[in-house]
C-alpha cells in the first residue's frame, strides 16, 4: 500500500510536526479508559423467554422510557426468597468497576423484622461455585421515580463475580430494575464525523470535520485508506473540533480511522473507524436530501424544518396529521407499508404506502430500527435477496427516489453495546442510498454523546412528564440535550404528548389527569432554544388510538393542545431556520425555578425571544438590547420597561415574545 503523509493544523497557527506523527502512531490505548463489560436493558426479545427465579419477570413497557424492565414482586412473608443474578464475564485482576442499575418501587412496605434496607443491588463473590462474600448497596427506599444507583468494587484475583438484584425478605411490594451495566471505571470518550454527512464525499469535496468528546489536550491522528493508498495526518483542534482535508480521492470506498491522542501522556483516549464512499463524478440526483452546516435539512434545494408526529399510515390519520399543520410523519411500520392489498413484492408495496403518505402532502422518515441482529421483527429475506444488511440495502435502493422520503431512522433507544450494530445498519442504508440522511434516537444520558455516532442526526426522546407527580421539572431533559449537543451533530426534539398511564389499566388511566398544554409547550420550546432543527411529537397513536378508545372526548381535548403547539412552531419556523445572528439577551432568575431563553432573528430582520420555564413556579427577567419592547404571545410575560420583560409561570410553560 502506498502512503502519503500529511501534517495539517487548520485551527491553530502552529503545525504539528512529522516527528509528532511518527510518535503518536506508536501510542497505546489508555489503561484508564472506561469500558462496559456487561449490560442488560431487558429489551431483548430473548429476555422475555428467559426463566428467572419465582417473583421475577421481564415486562415490556415497564422500563425507564416505555422500554422493558425486570420486575420483582413479593406478596406476603411466605413467598420464597429468590435472587436474580448476572455473572460478570472475565473481570480483570485488581481493576476497579462500577455496577450501575436504575431502580424504582411500588407499594413497598416492611412485613417483618426491623431492617430499613430494601436490598436492590449487590456484588457476590464465589470460588469454585462456593459463595465467599458480597459487597452490598444501601438502598433505604425506592419511590415511583427512576433513580440511578452505583456500587463500586475492585476485582480480587481467582474469584468469580456476579451482579445480584433482589428485594430483602423483610419487604413486600414491587421493585423495577432497568439498564443494568457493569463498567470498568474510567472516562469514556467519543469521536464523531460531522462532515461530510451521510458517509459520503461528494464531487470535489475533500474537507472533513471530526468532533471529539475527550480531554482538552487531545490531538487527532487520522488515517484515510482509498483505492489502495493511505493518507495520514495529525490534527490539532479547538473546542473539540478537528478539521482536515484529504488528498485526492478515487471513486469507491474510503475508510477513515480517527484516534484521539494525548501527546503529553502518550496514550490513545479513543479510536473510531468510519466507512464512507467517494462519489466523485456522480451527479447529485433530484431527490437528494442533505443536512447543511447549520444543521438544517435541505429538501428540493430549500431549508426544510421537519414538524410532525409518530403516527399511523391510514387515510383518516394522515388527513388529521396534515390538518394539524404537520409536514412529516413517522411510523414504526415503514417496512410493512402497503395500500389496498399486498402484492407480495415488498418494494412495490412499500412504494404504494409511501404514495398514500405523499398524496396527503406529508414527508416520511422510513424506519429500519428493527433491522438488528436477533430482532424477531427483522426482515432477513426479500425474494432472492438474503441477509439482514443485504435486505436493508436493497430496500433503501428500491425506494430512494420516492418523493415522500426524506430520511432513514436506524435506531430507537438501542442500548450502548448495540450501537456498533446500529452503525452497521447505517452503513447498509448508505450502501443502498447515500442521498438521504440517517437519524438515530435515544433518551439515555449515560449513552451520550457516544450514541450519536450511529446517524447524521441525533433525536432526543426523554419523556419527563409523569402526571402522578406533584411537581414537574425538565432538568433531566436539559442534561440529555446538553450531552447530545457535545456530539457536534444536529439534534431533533421528540416532545412527549402521551400520558404514561395509557399503558396501565383503564381505571388507572381514567383517574389520571391530562398533560397540560404547558407541559407540551415547555419541552418543545426548550428544544428550540437548544438549537433543534426538527420536531417529531410522540405519539399520535398513543393519544388518538389507545387513549381515544378509553375516553374520546379527553383525547380530542388533548389533541387540540398538541395542534396549538404545532402551530406555535410553524410561526417560529422562519426564526429557528434562519442563519442570521441574533442579539444576546440576559436572563435574571427571580426565584429558584429555572428559565431558559434565546433570541432569534429571521432572514428579514424580525426578532423574537423564545422562553421555557423548566420548573413549576419559574420566574425571570429577560432583558432585550436597546430597550426594545416585545409582545407576549401566550400571556406569561409582562413588559417592565427599558427592554426588561418579566416571565412568570406557576406550572411548566413557555412563551414567545414577538
Give dist(CA 624, CA 644) in Å, integer.
Answer: 6
The answer to whether 127 and 71 have CB atoms below 8 angstroms apart is no
pLDDT of residue 15: 47
Looking at per-residue pLDDT, the higher value among 80 and 167 belongs to 167
258-285 burial, b at 16+ Cβ within 10 Å, e below that, comes to bbbbbbeeebbbbebebbbbbbeeeeee
| pLDDT reading at 655 higher than 70 | yes
pLDDT number for residue 101: 97
DSSP result, 597-652:
EEEEE-TTS-EEEEEEE-BSSEEEEEE-GGG----BSSS-EEEEETTEEEEEESSS
pLDDT value for 5? 36
Q: What percent of the chain lies above the pLDDT cut of 90?
A: 81
Q: Kindly indicate whether the domain formed by 289-576 is annotated with CATH number 3.10.50.40.
A: no
pLDDT at residue 300 greater than cutoff 50: yes
Architecture of the domain spanning 35-184: Sandwich (2.60)
- What is the 3-class SS of 484-528, one letter each residue? HHCCCCCEEECCECCCHHHHCCHHHHHHCCCCCHHHHHHHHHHHH
pLDDT attached to residue 114: 73
pLDDT tens readout for residues 62-120: 999 888 999 999 998 888 899 999 999 988 887 889 999 999 999 999 998 777 789 99
Asked if residue 270 has pLDDT above 60, the reply is yes
The whole-angstrom separation of Cα 596 and Cα 614 is: 8
Q: Give the list of residues 6+ apart from residue 384 with CB closer than 8 angstroms, or none.
A: none
CB 380 within 8 A of CB 373: no
Using one digit for the tens of pLDDT, what is the confidence trace for 30-43?
877 788 999 999 98
Q: Is the pLDDT of residue 496 over 90?
A: yes
At 428, list the grid cell: 447498509
pLDDT tens digits along 521-531 = 999 999 999 99
| For residue 547, pLDDT beyond 80 | yes
Q: Give bridge partners of residue 439 from the DSSP assignment.
A: 409, 457
Structural contact between residues 173 and 87, judged by C-beta atoms closer than 8 angstroms: no
Query: What is the C-alpha separation between 653 and 613, in angstroms, rounded?
Result: 6
Pick the CATH number of 2-32+187-278 from 2.60.40.2550, 2.40.37.20, 3.50.50.60, 3.20.20.70: 2.60.40.2550
Give residue 119's region: left, alpha or beta (phi > 0; psi -120 to 50).
left
Q: What is the pLDDT of residue 1?
A: 37
Is 527 in contact with 572 (CB distance < 8 Å)?
Answer: no
How far lies 587's CA from each of 584, 608, 622, 646, in Å? Answer: 10, 15, 5, 10
176 vs 644: CA distance, rounded Å: 47
Q: Cis omega before residue 432 (within 30°)?
A: no
Asked if 579 and 615 touch (Cβ cutoff 8 Å), the reply is: no
In which region does residue 198 sit, left (phi positive, over 0), alpha (psi from -120 to 50) or beta (all else)? left
Predicted confidence at residue 532, as pLDDT, reads 98
Model confidence at 495, pLDDT cuts 50, 70, 90, reads very high
Give 401-426 pLDDT, tens digit per residue: 999 999 999 999 998 889 999 999 99
If one counts every other C-beta atom within 10 angstroms of the C-beta of residue 298, the result is: 15
Average pLDDT over residues 478-504: 95
Q: Stretch 561-583: mean pLDDT, rounded?
A: 98
Give the integer Cα–Cα distance in Å for 560 and 572: 19
Question: Residue 626 pLDDT > 50, yes or no?
Answer: yes
Give, for 565, the enclosing helix (H) or strand (E).
Answer: helix 552-576
Of all residues in the chain, the percent with pLDDT exceeding 70 is 97
Model's pTM, two decimal places? 0.88
Q: What is the DSSP string of 37-94?
A: EEEE-S-SHHHHHS-PPTTEEEETT-STTSS-EEEEEE-STTS----EEEEPPSPPTT
pLDDT of residue 108: 94
Phi/psi region, residue 552 (left: phi>0; alpha: psi -120 to 50; beta: rest), is alpha
Q: At 147, list the grid cell.
A: 433513580
Name the pairing type of β-strands 385-386 and 381-382: antiparallel
Mean pLDDT of 536-564: 95
Look at residue 19 and tell me whether its pLDDT is greater than 80.
no
pLDDT at residue 17, rounded to an integer: 63
Residue 289 binned pLDDT confidence (cut-offs 50, 70, 90): very high
Q: Which three cell numbers stand for residue 583?
A: 442579539
Q: Residue 617: is its pLDDT beyond 90?
A: yes
Distance in angstroms (rounded) separating the CA atoms of residues 489 and 201? 17
Q: In this predicted structure, what is the pLDDT of residue 66?
A: 87
Grouping H, G, I as helix, E, B as strand and the rest as coil, residue 415 is coil
pLDDT of res. 16 = 60
92 forms bridges with which residues in the sheet? none
Return the pLDDT at 93: 80
pLDDT at 641 over 60: yes
What does the alpha-carbon distance between residue 83 and residue 487 come to, in Å, rounded to a whole number? 39
- In this prediction, residue 266 carries a pLDDT of 93
- Tell me whether domains 2-32+187-278 and 35-184 share a fold: no
Task: Quote the DSSP letter at residue 451.
Answer: G
Query: What whole-number distance in Å separates Cα of residue 425 and Cα of residue 278?
Result: 19
CA distances from 328 to 124, 358, 537, 631 (A): 51, 10, 11, 30
From 294, 305, 277, select the one nearest 433 (Cα to Cα).
277
Question: What's the average model confidence in pLDDT over 547-559?
Answer: 95
Cis omega (within 30 of 0) for bond into 539: yes
User: Rounded to an integer, what distance in angstroms lies between the CA atom of residue 385 and that of residue 394?
Assistant: 8
Q: What residue has cell string 442521498?
A: 435
Residue owning grid cell 435502493? 397
- 13 CB contacts (<8 Å, ≥6 apart)? none
308-321, pLDDT tens digit by residue?
999 999 999 999 99
pLDDT higher than 90, residue 622: yes
Mean pLDDT on 124-140? 91
Residue 117: C-alpha distances to residues 76, 103, 132, 171, 333 (Å): 17, 14, 22, 9, 45
Q: What is the average pLDDT value for the chain, to the nearest integer?
A: 93
Mean pLDDT value across residues 530-537: 98
Cβ neighbourhood burial of 500 (10 Å; 0-12, 13-18, 19+): buried
- In DSSP terms, which residues pair with 492 in a beta bridge? 459
Q: Give the neighbor-by-neighbor strand order of the sheet with 637-641.
A: 586-589, 618-623, 644-649, 637-641
Do 389 and 426 meet the contact criterion of CB atoms below 8 Å apart?
no
Grid cell listed for 654: 413557555
Residue 292: pLDDT over 70: yes
Tell me the pLDDT tens digit for each residue of 181-232. 999 888 889 999 999 999 999 877 889 999 999 999 999 999 999 999 999 9
Residues 308/331, Cβ–Cβ less than 8 Å: no
- pLDDT value at residue 2: 37
Break the chain into its structural domains and give their ranges: 2-32+187-278, 35-184, 289-576, 586-657
Quote the pLDDT of residue 94: 79
Q: Which residue has the cell 479547538?
A: 238
Amino acid at each position: 500500500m502506498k502512503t502519503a503523509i500529511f501534517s495539517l493544523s487548520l485551527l491553530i497557527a502552529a503545525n504539528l510536526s512529522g516527528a509528532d506523527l511518527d510518535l503518536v502512531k506508536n501510542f497505546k490505548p489508555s489503561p484508564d479508559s472506561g469500558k462496559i463489560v456487561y449490560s442488560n436493558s431487558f429489551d431483548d426479545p430473548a429476555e422475555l423467554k428467559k426463566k428467572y427465579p419465582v417473583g421475577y419477570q421481564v415486562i415490556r413497557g415497564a422500563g425507564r422510557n416505555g422500554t422493558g424492565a425486570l420486575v420483582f414482586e413479593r406478596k406476603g412473608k411466605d413467598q420464597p426468597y429468590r435472587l436474580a443474578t448476572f455473572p460478570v464475564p472475565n473481570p480483570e485482576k485488581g481493576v476497579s468497576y462500577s455496577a450501575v442499575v436504575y431502580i424504582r418501587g411500588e407499594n413497598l412496605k416492611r412485613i417483618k423484622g426491623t431492617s430499613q434496607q430494601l436490598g436492590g443491588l449487590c456484588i457476590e463473590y464465589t470460588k469454585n461455585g462456593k459463595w465467599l462474600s458480597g459487597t452490598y448497596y444501601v438502598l433505604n427506599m425506592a419511590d415511583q421515580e427512576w433513580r440511578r444507583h452505583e456500587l463500586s468494587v475492585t476485582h480480587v484475583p481467582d474469584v468469580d463475580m456476579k451482579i445480584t438484584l433482589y428485594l430483602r425478605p423483610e419487604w413486600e411490594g414491587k421493585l423495577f430494575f432497568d439498564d443494568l451495566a457493569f463498567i470498568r471505571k474510567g472516562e469514556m470518550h467519543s469521536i464523531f464525523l460531522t462532515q461530510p454527512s451521510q458517509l459520503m464525499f461528494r464531487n470535489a469535496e475533500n474537507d472533513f470535520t471530526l468532533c471529539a468528546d475527550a480531554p482538552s489536550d487531545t490531538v487527532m491522528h487520522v488515517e484515510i485508506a482509498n483505492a489502495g493508498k493511505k493518507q495520514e495526518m495529525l490534527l490539532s483542534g479547538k473546542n473539540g473540533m478537528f478539521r482536515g482535508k484529504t488528498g485526492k480521492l478515487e471513486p469507491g470506498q474510503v475508510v477513515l480511522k480517527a484516534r484521539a491522542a494525548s501527546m503529553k501522556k502518550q496514550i490513545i483516549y479513543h479510536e473510531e473507524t468510519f466507512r464512507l464512499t467517494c462519489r466523485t463524478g456522480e451527479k447529485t440526483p433530484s431527490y437528494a436530501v442533505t443536512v447543511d452546516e447549520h444543521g438544517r435539512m435541505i429538501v428540493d434545494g430549500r431549508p426544510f424544518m421537519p414538524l410532525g408526529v409518530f403516527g399511523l399510515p391510514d387515510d383518516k390519520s394522515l388527513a388529521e396529521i396534515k390538518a394539524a399543520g404537520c409536514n412529516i410523519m413517522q411510523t414504526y411500520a415503514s417496512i410493512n407499508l402497503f395500500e389496498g392489498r399486498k402484492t407480495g413484492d415488498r418494494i412495490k408495496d412499500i412504494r404504494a404506502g409511501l404514495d398514500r403518505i405523499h398524496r396527503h402532502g406529508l414527508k416520511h422518515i422510513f424506519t429500519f430500527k428493527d433491522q438488528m441482529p436477533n430482532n424477531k421483527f427483522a426482515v432477513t429475506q426479500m425474494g432472492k435477496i438474503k441477509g439482514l444488511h443485504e435486505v436493508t440495502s436493497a430496500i433503501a435502493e428500491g425506494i430512494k427516489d420516492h418523493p415522500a422520503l426524506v430520511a432513514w431512522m436506524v435506531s430507537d433507544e438501542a442500548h450502548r453495546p448495540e450501537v456498533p450494530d446500529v452503525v452497521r445498519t447505517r452503513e447498509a442504508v448508505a450502501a443502498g442510498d447515500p442521498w438521504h440522511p440517517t437519524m438515530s434516537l435515544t433518551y439515555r444520558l449515560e449513552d451520550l454523546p457516544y450514541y450519536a455516532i450511529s446517524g447524521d442526526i441525533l433525536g432526543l426522546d426523554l419523556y419527563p412528564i409523569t402526571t402522578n407527580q406533584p411537581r414537574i421539572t425538565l432538568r433531566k431533559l436539559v442534561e440529555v440535550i446538553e450531552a447530545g449537543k457535545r456530539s457536534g451533530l444536529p439534534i431533533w426534539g421528540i416532545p412527549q404528548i402521551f400520558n404514561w398511564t395509557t399503558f396501565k389499566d383503564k381505571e388507572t388511566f381514567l383517574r389520571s389527569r391530562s398533560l397540560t398544554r404547558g407541559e407540551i409547550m415547555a419541552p418543545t420550546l426548550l428544544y428550540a432554544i437548544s438549537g433543534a432543527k426538527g420536531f417529531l411529537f410522540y405519539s399520535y397513536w398513543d393519544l388518538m388510538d389507545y387513549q381515544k378508545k378509553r375516553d374520546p372526548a379527553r383525547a380530542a381535548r388533548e389533541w387540540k393542545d398538541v395542534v396549538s403547539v404545532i402551530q406555535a412552531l410553524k410561526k417560529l419556523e422562519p426564526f429557528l431556520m434562519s442563519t442570521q445572528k441574533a442579539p444576546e439577551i440576559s436572563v435574571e432568575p427571580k426565584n429558584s425555578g429555572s428559565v431558559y431563553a434565546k433570541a432569534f432573528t429571521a432572514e428579514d430582520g424580525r426578532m423574537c425571544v423564545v422562553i421555557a420555564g423548566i420548573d413549576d413556579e419559574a420566574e425571570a427577567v429577560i432583558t432585550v438590547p436597546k430597550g426594545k419592547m416585545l409582545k407576549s404571545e401566550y400571556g406569561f410575560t409582562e413588559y417592565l420597561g427599558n427592554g426588561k420583560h418579566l416571565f412568570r409561570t406557576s406550572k411548566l410553560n413557555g412563551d414567545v415574545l414577538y
